[in-house]
Chains A and B, each alone.
Chain A
Amino acid sequence: MIGPERVAEIDLPAPGLETGAARPAQSYWNESWERLRANRIGMSAGIVIVVFALIAIAAPLLSIVLTHAQPQSIDLDHTFAKPGLGSHLLGTDELGRDTLTRLLWGARVSLGVAFLTVAMSLSVGTAVGMLSGYYGGWIDDVLMRFVDVVLAIPAIFLFILMSILFRPNAITLAAIVASVGWGGVARLVRGEVLSVKQRDFILATRSLGANDWRLMLRHLLPNVLPVLIVAASLGVGQIILIESALDFLGLGIQPPTPSWGNMLTNSQSYFFRSGFLVAFPGITIFITVLCSNLFGNAVRDAFDPRLKTH
Chain B
Amino acid sequence: MTSTIHPGSRYEVTDRALGLNLPQRIGSVLWLPMLAMALMAFPVGVVLGAVRANEVATGGSPDTIAALGHFVPAVNFLGFASVFTAISFAIVRILGEFRTGGGKVQEPQVEGSRR
Answer yes or no: do A and B interact. Answer: no
**A residues in contact (CB < 8 Å) with B:** none
